[in-house]
Chain A
Amino acid sequence: MEIRVKLFATLRLNLKVSQVDINSNAPISVLTLLNLVSEKVGSDIIPELIDNGEIMVGTIILIDGFNVLHLNKLNTIIEKECVVSVFPPNGGG
């Protein structure tokens, strides 16, 4: 299955990447997915997104529009092709 990971807003500036496609033959967790993204882009994106094993406060991770906070957070299992969107909402006016 192919999983498309899209990074938005200031994450793009910090991580220097806007989109990564990951192929996996087996179901994987969100945490594993993010580690695979790090491997693929050649830099560790985990410190930008995770703090003390939790999704960083202010970061939103959606799997096909479903917020992983309402699923099983970083342990949410991805079992089929999907789009994962990661972003911090922009707060200024």
Chain B
Amino acid sequence: MERYTRHKNLFAEGKMEQIQKARVMVVGAGGLGCTVLQLIARLGVDTLHVYDCADVDLPDLNRQILYDEFDIGEKKAICAARKLRCINPNIQVVAHTDKVDESTLLPDVDLVFDCLDNFQTRFILDRLLYPLHIPMIHGGVNKFFAQVTSIVPGQSKTLAELFPVDATSIDKQTTKDIFPPVVTITASIQVSEGVKYLTGQHSDMLINKVLMIDTFANSFEIIDFN
């Protein structure tokens, strides 16, 4: 039985091959990142770059589903890469333990997932990627709530244009309290968006639209941006 039998027939002819050729970068291997990484690895891309400069800590284990107690103290990027290679040895996984900043030299990738935990670095990533025409699938969570949007250069506004906010103030307002299910829901939708991008279904993506998720009220609502 072939590894991708259960999902490859969902895509039109040639589309699974596009996924298998994809080089993907995930920035942040925390709550969102763990689920995004695992789903992307299982889908079967070509190369997966994992960026995170932090270590695994005990409070991470409520939602960061790639890690367990034996991983505490290890660099998340390295630990995640090791786990992902076990999940799918057919893909290349590259761990990056340096912090993303204005001077970061990005690897040659087709798609980036923003799984960061702060808007300051998100806006840096936005500024780095947009001129390179590399799309970024954004996810952000707080308490029971989240949002997802897809930044596709040439088709969408930048993240900073969609959310013209003071990054520091948003980061201060964001609590450390996060309902674990909202993280996996949000990350799963990010991956769904990423797959749509890789398989050319751009018209079905959240481009200039933000999906607002409220697990408290079981509400999913799309806001159109003009």
Task: Kindly state the separation between the CA atoms of A65 and B208 in the bound complex, as whole angstroms.
Answer: 9
A42 beta carbon closer than 8 Å to chain B: no
Count B interface residues, CB 8 Å. Answer: 41
B145 beta carbon closer than 8 Å to chain A: yes
- B-side contacts of A13, CB under 8 Å: 143-144, 216
Given contacts A91-B117, A93-B140, contact A57 B212 (CB under 8 A): no
The reply to whether B32 and A88 contact each other, CB–CB distance below 8 Å, is no
The reply to whether B217 and A10 contact each other, CB–CB distance below 8 Å, is no
A35 beta carbon closer than 8 Å to chain B: no
Task: Kindly state the separation between the CA atoms of A90 and B185 in the bound complex, as whole angstroms.
Answer: 14
0/1 per residue, B126-154, Cβ < 8 Å to A? 00000000000001111111110000000
Q: Chain A: interface residue count, which band?
A: 20 to 34
0/1 per residue, B162-173, Cβ < 8 Å to A? 011110011101
B9 beta carbon closer than 8 Å to chain A: no
- A-side contacts of B119, CB under 8 Å: 89, 91
B171 to chain A, nearest CB (A): 5
B109 beta carbon closer than 8 Å to chain A: no
Which A8-58 residues sit within 8 Å CB-CB of chain B? 8-10, 12-13, 18, 57-58
Q: Which of B37-45, B197-205, B218-226 contacts A (4 or more CB under 8 A)?
A: B218-226
The reply to whether B140 and A58 contact each other, CB–CB distance below 8 Å, is no
Closest to A91 in B: B174
Closest to B115 in A: A93
**Which listed residue, B146, B165, B176, B217, touches A18 by the CB 8 Å rule?**
B217
Task: Kindly state the separation between the CA atoms of A48 and B119 in the bound complex, as whole angstroms.
Answer: 21
Closest to B225 in A: A65
Given contacts A8-B212, A8-B214, contact A69 B141 (CB under 8 A): no
Between-chain CB contacts (< 8 Å), 21 pairs: A8-B214, A8-B221, A9-B142, A9-B147, A10-B145, A10-B173, A12-B217, A57-B165, A58-B166, A60-B165, A62-B225, A64-B226, A87-B212, A88-B165, A90-B146, A91-B142, A92-B141, A93-B31, A93-B115, A93-B118, A93-B141
Q: Which residues of B contact A (CB under 8 A)?
A: 28, 30-33, 115-119, 139-147, 163-166, 169-171, 173-176, 178, 212, 214, 216-217, 219, 221, 223-226
